[in-house]
Amino acid sequence: MTKDLLGRHRAVLPDWLALYYDNPLEITHGEGRHVWDAEGNKYLDFFGGILTTMTAHALPEVTKAVSEQAGRILHSSTLYLNRPMVELAERVAQLSGIPDARVFFTTSGTEANDTALMLATSYRRSNQILAMRNSYHGRSFSSVGITGNRGWSPTSLSPLQTLYVHGGVRTRGPYAHLSDAEFIAACVADLKDLLGHVRPPAALIAEPVQGVGGFTSPPDGLYAAFREVLAERGVLWIADEVQTGWGRTGDHFWGWQAHAQNGPPDILTFAKGIGNGSSIGGVVARADIMNCLDSNSISTFGGTQITMAAGLANLTYLLEHDLQGNARRVGGLLIERLRAAAVKHPGVREVRGRGLMIGIELVKPGTDEADPQAASAVLEAAREGGLLLGKGGGHDTSALRIAPPLSLTVAEAEEGAAILERALASTQ
């Protein structure tokens, strides 16, 4: 049955629509931190639908909220007052830390970043954007134009002029040998030099932890230092929290809070985990920025009632059960377990991350050269052992990505680490 479905997939869907595994699997249902495929195999899910199943599969509280809302009304568009949308917007605005915040809901992180770019360029009357090397911000025409990862950038055409800045990857590049303080100083000096050669841009957009880039990040405080330079020139800071938001990093509710010396960003984008599988994205911005557009707009599906019901129930569960704290505690144990295991494997260059957002970078033993074949082999071996992982990285997709639901237990973390250790050993 799976083979037949794969043939139908290839006959009707684009060639560039990527599938994991030599023999792709069909996931039919899930519960908690586990999923099952069409052949009845059970897997511990360490990728959560690309960081989207944030709390748990088939979470009863979310299922109940969606079912009850579906029995009333699914959708009406933003042309009508929408109580669930207003209620979720109120909570997101308060949690964002942005003063006098306004919230606009979209259906994806791509669309959220697209909206943020429109706001920033309109507000600043400039189409020039600063972005980070190794970054990923979506698949729309504008978000591809600011993506600094060639593996996910199918065209160089863009409505924007993009300038790429150092700093998103701590352990590679010309500043990798420096201390954290020296690294930040060098990146700031480079930014100042760049700004001295161009007209003031509209904004800097940055992921606090680069997701598709392999869960890389700068030293804490880099974006605060950047912001001091940018604020002097009126340049906005957009924090892309599509993957880092809602407590996944453990230490903070938002990734930007690791760089919070001078306050929140001007614009914040979010998506993925808030819906626990429902299609929710959004933008939070100061009122003067959000309201700068001088024409009408609506969203047909952004903020639709059924996704807002899911988001409200999911956010309530996350906060009431302190899943941020769980990400910090269980994630801390998991990363130390993985670092201990990695010592035995010469192909592991680095185990990095924070909370339940962990990357394992693989290289050819004895070198610093990325090894995407090894990453694919470990992915396959982990699946055979009953564990689903992700891949990423700006160096030929050589990093394994680990991002399970934030309700992961200590026992499940240990189980997953043991499977992954065996998968690494089997591919050496």
| Contact in structure between 417 and 334 (CB atoms under 8 Å) | yes
222-231 vs 180-195: helix crossing angle, rounded to 10:
30
Pairing state of beta strands 281-286 and 236-240? unpaired
Task: Evaluate the CA torsion angle 120, 125, 130, 131 in order and state its sign.
Answer: positive
Selection from 180, 146, 185, 177 nearest residue 162 by Cα: 146
CATH 3.90.1150.10 fits 2-55+322-426, yes or no: yes
User: Any residues with CB less than 8 A from the CB of 83 and at least 6 apart, and which?
Assistant: none
Q: What is the mean pLDDT of the chain?
A: 96
Domain span(s) for CATH 3.40.640.10 in the chain: 64-320
CA dist., res. 239 & res. 226, Å (int): 12
- H helical segments located in 35-169: 48-51, 60-70, 83-96, 109-124, 141-144
Tokens in use for 12? 């009707």
**Helix (H) and strand (E) counts in the chain:** 13, 15
What is the arithmetic mean of pLDDT over 217-235? 96
- Residue 153 confidence (pLDDT) above 90: no
Selection from 374, 372, 388 nearest residue 420 by Cα: 388
pLDDT at 396: 77
- HEC profile for 4-55? HHHHHHHHHCCCCCCCCCCCCCCEEEEEECEEEECCCCEEEECCHHHHCCCC
pLDDT at 262: 79
pLDDT at 20: 96
- H helical segments located in 218-322: 222-231, 287-290, 305-320
- Residue 73 confidence (pLDDT) above 90: yes
| Contact in structure between 197 and 165 (CB atoms under 8 Å) | no
> Confidence class of residue 414 from pLDDT cuts 50, 70 and 90?
very high
What is the arithmetic mean of pLDDT over 401-407? 98
pLDDT at 157: 85
What is the arithmetic mean of pLDDT over 223-239? 96
Selection from 313, 352, 310, 314 nearest residue 335 by Cα: 352
pTM: 0.95
CA dist., res. 410 & res. 341, Å (int): 17
Q: Give buried/exposed letters for 225-241 (b at 16+ CB in 10 A, else e).
A: bbbebbeeeebbbbbbb
- Residue 427 confidence (pLDDT) above 90: no
DSSP 269: E
Percent of the chain with pLDDT over 70: 100
| Contact in structure between 135 and 147 (CB atoms under 8 Å) | yes
374: enclosing H helix or E strand: helix 372-384
- H helical segments located in 266-371: 287-290, 305-320, 323-342
| Contact in structure between 87 and 312 (CB atoms under 8 Å) | yes
pLDDT at 274: 96
> Across the strands, what pairs with 34?
31, 44
Among 148-152, 168-172, 274-278, 416-420, name the one with the lowest average pLDDT. Answer: 148-152
359-400 confidence digits (pLDDT tens): 999 999 999 999 999 999 999 999 999 999 999 998 678 999
pLDDT at 337: 97
pLDDT at 428: 74
- Residue 91 confidence (pLDDT) above 80: yes
pLDDT at 3: 84
358-367 confidence digits (pLDDT tens): 999 999 999 9
Tokens in use for 302? 């952004």
User: Any residues with CB less than 8 A from the CB of 10 and at least 6 apart, and which?
Assistant: none
CA-only gyration radius of the chain, Å: 21
Specify the amino acid at residue 204: L
106-124 confidence digits (pLDDT tens): 999 999 999 999 999 999 9
What is the arithmetic mean of pLDDT over 42-48? 98
Domain span(s) for CATH 3.90.1150.10 in the chain: 2-55+322-426
pLDDT at 184: 98
| Contact in structure between 283 and 108 (CB atoms under 8 Å) | no
pLDDT at 397: 84
CATH number for the domain whose boundaries are 64-320: 3.40.640.10
SS3 246: coil
